[in-house]
Amino acid sequence: MDSVDLEVLRSATTWFKAGHAVVLATVVKTWGSSPRPLGAMLAIRDDGQVSGSVSGGCVEDDLIERVHQHKLAGDKPEVVTYGVTKEQAERFRLPCGGTLQLVLEPIKASAGLDELLGIIERHELVARYLDLETGNHRIEPGRWSDALAFDGKILKTVHGPRWRLLIIGAAQLSRYLAQMAQALDYHVTVCDPREEYALAWDVAGVPVDRAYPDDVVQAMNLDAHSAVVAVTHDPKLDDAALLEALKSPAFYVGALGSKANNDKRRKRLAEFDLSAGEIARLHGPVGLRIGSRTPPEIAVAILAEMTAVRRGVQIPQTAEPAKAGVEAGCGIPQN
């Protein structure tokens, strides 16, 4: 779930409790280009104030105007579509002739937003079903494979972290990586069997697992919504995790270290039951080459590359002049 949309739910709940009438708009279908993905949300309260976004701003302006005219979602949810005609597309300035369909839900005490927020804030995955005919809803545990679905009668939305990140190692870089990944809506787990690191771990909402890395990878049953990043510099720990992760469907597997160290790592991995194709999946040195030197910069580079892979975007490595790495070879070295 997009963190922007989590703020929308919080705003809608706060406004409703303060006595405002609130309508929740959710993107349920798009045709052509769309500035916001399926499931994106916008909360609109009775005085026209909004939280979130469903377009570049023009659709929001129309919804606000409809609020002022008391023409927006009365007692039951309704469906509205923008951009069907050429006139509408030009009026709402939808990109490249895009069309946007929204479900507008008037928030009621029975909407269950408090329950929904509580589940999301516990970093659990949840599915919410809205019946457009009655306005009733139900909430069920979500699955990693869940996605928004709308058949014209029932709207299923998925909330909570649909992506997982396992970090091997609980050192300083891991703290920045975990915190930034949380902001990108990953459910983050850190694995480190080393007592001195595990006992010092205190990042809110990120548990530390002290089991051995390969056992943790297997227990997590990684899927295509999972990523693994190894950052300990200890081959016994990093390689153990990578051996299992590279055999999994995880969309991203990376390891910190210089190019030379990762070349040696690939040779070690080749001695085990990994195919050449599985070894080729390893991102090492991990992260985009953006000149990262400090732990926060390295975390940015790692998450940028993860985002590109997740979105299917091919980004060529940035050409940079050779430079000295940070202490202990922790930077992302240049070729």
Judge if 203 and 323 occupy the same domain: yes
Q: Which structural domain range is residue 99 located in?
A: 3-159
In a domain, 289, yes or no: yes
Per-residue tokens: 258? 């210089």
pLDDT at residue 219, as a whole number? 94
Strands 252-255 and 226-230: parallel
Residues 253 and 308 in one domain: yes
Q: Are residues 136 and 190 in the same domain?
A: no
199 and 76 inside one domain: no
- Segment 48-107, tens digit of pLDDT: 999 998 886 678 888 888 888 877 767 889 999 987 566 665 665 555 556 889 999 999
Determine the Cα–Cα distance for residues 37 and 98; give it in Å rounded to an integer. 12
CB 285 within 8 A of CB 262: yes
Show which of 159, 180, 198 is a domain's final residue.
159
Query: What pLDDT shows up at residue 267?
Result: 96
Pick the last residue of a domain from 129, 159, 189.
159
| 0.75 surpassed by pTM | no
128: buried, middle or exposed (CB in 10 Å: 19+, 13-18, 0-12)?
buried
Do 175 and 151 sit in the same domain of this protein?
no
Q: Domain count for the chain, please give it.
A: 2
pLDDT at 254: 97
With tokens 């909330």, the residue in question is 159
Are both 144 and 172 inside the same structural domain? no
Question: Which domain-ending residue is among 140, 159, 178?
Answer: 159
- The percent of residues in the chain predicted with pLDDT above 90, rounded, is 61
**Same domain (yes/no): 168, 67:** no
Asked whether residue 115 falls in the same domain as residue 181, the answer is no
Is 174 found in the same domain as 68? no
The closest alpha carbon to 306, from 263, 265, 250, belongs to 250
Residues 288 and 147 placed together within one structural domain of the fold: no
Instruction: For residues 212 and 271, state if they share a domain.
Output: yes
Same domain, 137 and 173: no
Give dist(CA 204, CA 200) in Å, integer. Answer: 12
State how far Cα 94 lies from the chain centre: 25
Q: Has residue 27 been placed in a domain?
A: yes
Asked whether residue 334 is domain-assigned, the answer is no
Which residues of the chain carry a pLDDT beneath 70? 1-4, 32-35, 56-57, 73, 84-98, 317-335
